[in-house]
Amino acid sequence: MLRLRSAVFRAVAPPSRVLACRFSAAPIPAPNTQPEVHYNKLFINNQWQDAESGKTFPTINPATGEVICQVAEADENDVNKAVKAASDAFRLGSPWRRMDASHRGLLLNRLADAIERDAAYLAELETLDNGKPYAVAYSVDLPNVVKCLRYYAGWADKWEGKTIPIDGDYFCYTRHEPVGVCGQIIPVGHLIQQASGSSNLKRVTLELGGKSPNIVLSDANMEDAVEQSHFALFFNQGQCCCAGSRTYVQADIYDEFVERSVERAKRRVVGDPFDMKTEQGPQVDQEQFNKILGYISSGKREGAKLMCGGGVAADRGYFIQPTVFGDVQDNMTIAREEIFGPVMQIFKFKTLEEVLTRANDSKYGLAAAVFTKDIDKANYVSSGLRAGTVWINCYDVFGAQAPFGGYKASGVGRELGQYGLENYTEVKTFSFVLLPQSLKMTVEEISI
């Protein structure tokens, strides 16, 4: 048993090394810090076009506050045009509808090929637009996009139905068919849910927010737990829906963990997202920047102990210092609400039963984690957590093959993996008589 525990729960490499081995070992190409923006219009019916109203809006470089370009601003008329184009493509007998499933998979793979070809340029645009460090965009985000497309390309001709042995002389089978035209809107999930529920019961899948508990037990490997917990919270400037934003640490290691976490936060490199050494770029926009600073003020006002950071990190742009709060209590605003920024909150607990009760006392249930060398404790805690994903001795481990989604107010449905396909298909049942009526009677007579 001791050998098994050692093998299964061996120390996990710090995130920097995890990322290095999880993706391509090829060197990251030097970025163009001023990539040309080729497309800023609406893409409807396979064409780039201006908004019907002619309206545009500025997209801002969060590292400088300067305007990158003007982007076409869609309204109801543009959405209706897009829906009509999609509906025409979905029409019975249309070329898209009649396309072989295997060819659909081929097209997805061609898209993946194009993304691989232009990965550096796409990473440059991502960094320019939202402040994500270029090295992360290139080595993490883009490879994940490619893997996801290739994964579903493989599913294109394999989403099979079933034959079902129902009672009687009938043949019954199912077929999975697409639900039809779908709209994908990334933010404002709650508003979508409300609008859909109040109209005509449209199907909705939602991946919403989180306030994910990250539980560190006293027997955890301290070095790895600190590094992984740092990564769990600060990755992507803290702008992750599944960020480990409630770090629960067992009492007998609490002081050492806090001290090490503060030291690590102070070493975090904040700056130009195009610099390869940068770990943390700016927040995505002015609104989020102000919101995070407001939460930091709330934490100080309500009695949490500010251990480091807490202020603005640059003269321009939306940079915030890596911030750590200790002595956080469950009733504080920073403990209840999603900050979505580089603000780590550390809580103290004594028993497993206590931490499970506190961890589950949230309207959210997107993700969670537990750090321990004891497989029995890991099983006990992970089974008791009300969350859609639980990581054990690691954090932010994703795969296109594995479903992702939340309990409670963290969402409806699942993305990725086979489960993700279920959101976009209807199951149709076919039943028909297996034997002619006359033959059926003959069989019945013989059986008597």
Which residues are known catalytic residues? Answer: 207
* Complete DSSP assignment for 213-269: EEEE-TTS-HHHHHHHHHHHHHGGGG--TT---EEEEEGGGHHHHHHHHHHHHHH--
Order of strands, edge to edge, in the sheet holding 425-433? 163-164, 170-178, 425-433
The Cα–Cα gap between 388 and 420 comes to 14
Give the residue among 259, 253, 229 at the shortest CA–CA distance from 393: 229
The Cα–Cα gap between 221 and 394 comes to 11
Helices (H) and strands (E) in the chain, counts: 17, 18
Give the residue among 16, 2, 18, 392 at the shortest CA–CA distance from 225: 392
Residue 326 phi, psi (nearest 5) = -110, 175
Give the residue among 180, 182, 177 at the shortest CA–CA distance from 196: 182
Do you know the residue count of the chain? Answer: 448
Could you tell me if 340 and 361 are in contact, meaning their C-beta atoms sit under 8 angstroms apart? Answer: no
What does the block give as tokens for 173? Answer: 């089978």
The Cα–Cα gap between 23 and 18 comes to 9
Could you tell me if 272 and 63 are in contact, meaning their C-beta atoms sit under 8 angstroms apart? Answer: yes
For residue 378, how many other CB atoms are within 10 A of its CB?
Answer: 20
Give the residue among 30, 50, 27, 26 at the shortest CA–CA distance from 39: 50
Give the sign of the dihedral formed by CA 96, CA 99, CA 105, CA 111.
negative
Give the residue among 307, 306, 309, 314 at the shortest CA–CA distance from 281: 314
How far lies 350's CA from each of 203, 248, 282, in Å?
Answer: 43, 10, 36
